[in-house]
Amino acid sequence: MGEASKISRYLYTVIVLFLIWLFLTASLDPQELGFGLLLSLIVGAFTYEIFTTNGLANLSPKRIAYAIAYIPYFLWAMIMANLDVAYRVLHPKRPINPGIVECRTVLKSDVGKLSLANSITLTPGTITLDVDGDRYFIHWIDVKDSSVEGASKNITEPFEKFLRVIFG
Amino acid sequence: MNALTAVGEILVLLGTFFYILSSLGLIRMPDVYNRMQTATKSATLGSLGVIIGVGIWALGTDFGSAAWLTKTIVIAVFLLLTNPISAHALIRAAYKSGIPLWEGSVVDRYREHLEAKEKEAGSPKNPDETPIKEGGVE
């Protein structure tokens, strides 16, 4: 993945930092806004090199739309995960069937792999043990299919259709 | 305004329920990996419920303001991003320090992967290559 120009990466970092500042202060007073902008500019200058490689390209409308659509999808998967955990914990027989399976991913960027790993950890019965290139090693609490393809279909593919657009 | 208070209270209640579930999972599960499963998921959703619930609850009371909700959202997003990473680090460290899987476990592809890698790193004829490869693995 090619890198964006320094200006674009710097601006993107400043925008993200300023948004966090806005949420933390929750005030539209010009003094607060001005100081927050100043601080974002300073902190952005130090950190933009490690923060992003895509720069402003991250803010394309298509990516933002997919990111917004991803939030309820992810929250729903998370609630289902917790009901699943509730069932396994409260059921007297403790119906677990654990194991470590291997999955493949089609995602290329590091941020995409990180968010896929995070999503896997928070959704039904799976937790990421290690990532090596495009191979994920996942501890699955209820192994239905131990082959690589089957596990990928069950675990990674539901998220990839979103994350492939968001992070490339 | 009372509806907001009610929604906040229900969210906090749900959150504490998932907290209890998470600690119950720590007792009932057989090994560290399965315990990590219940602890991570339930504790994360429980925290989300409690934190966002407090933010919404504050909107409905007369001393609260929207500043509560925005701050709690920042905290919730922070938790959502960092909790799975800490879980991943813990479970990986547990595996690397040699804690065995539960005896009822079905497959262990990670062990096969590590063994294949070890064989690949140990076999090359040129001895100069081995340390570089091992350095690349971890």
Q: Identify the pLDDT of residue B131.
A: 46
* B chain contacts of residue A104, beta-carbon cutoff 8 Å: none
**pLDDT at site B126:** 46
Buried b / exposed e across A53-69, counting CB within 10 Å, b at 16+? bbbbbbeeeebeebeee
Chain A residues close to B91, C-beta within 8 Å: 127, 129, 139
Do B38 and A85 count as a contact with CB atoms less than 8 A apart? yes
Residue A114 banded pLDDT, cuts 50, 70, 90? confident
User: Average pLDDT for residues A29-47, to the nearest whole number?
Assistant: 89
**pLDDT in the model for residue A2:** 54
**Radius of gyration in angstroms for the set of CA atoms belonging to chain B, rounded to a whole number:** 22
- Mutation pick from A89, A97, A143, A154 vs chain B, by most beta carbons of B within 10 Å, is A89
Among partner residues B45, B95, B108, which is closest to A82 by beta-carbon distance?
Answer: B45
Domain limits, chain A: 6-58, 60-167
Per the CB < 8 Å rule, is A101 touching B42? Answer: no
* Nearest-angstrom CA–CA distance, B64 and A28: 17
Q: How many residues does chain A have?
A: 168
Q: How far apart are the C-alpha atoms of A121 and B65, rounded to whole Å?
A: 34
Residue B107 has pLDDT above 80, yes or no: no
pLDDT tens across A68-100, in order? 888 888 888 888 888 888 888 787 777 777 777
List, in order, residues 6 or more apart from A100 with CB less than 8 Å away.
A129, A137, A138, A139, A140, B101, B105, B107, B108, B109, B110, B111
Say if the Cβ atoms of A121 and B74 lie within 8 Å.
no
DSSP A77-143: HHHHHHHHHHHHHHSTT---B-EEEEEE----SHHHHHHHHHHHHHSTTEEEEEEETTEEEEEESB-
Residue B64 corresponds to which tokens in the numbers above?
């609260």
Query: Residue A60 in contact with residue A104, Cβ under 8 Å?
Result: no
CB contact (8 A) between residue B88 and residue A135: no
**DSSP at B108:** B
The DSSP symbol for B52 reads H
Residue type, A16: V
How far, in Å, CA of A117 to CA of A111, rounded?
10
Asked if residue B47 lies in contact with residue B102, where contact means CB atoms within 8 angstroms, the answer is no
Q: Do B110 and A96 touch (CB under 8 A)?
A: no
Q: What is the pLDDT of residue B138?
A: 40
Instruction: pLDDT band for A150, please (50, 70, 90 cuts).
Output: low
CB-CB contact of B133 with B119 (8 Å):
no
Q: What one-letter code names the amino acid at A163?
A: L
pLDDT at B20 over 80: yes
ipTM of the complex: 0.80
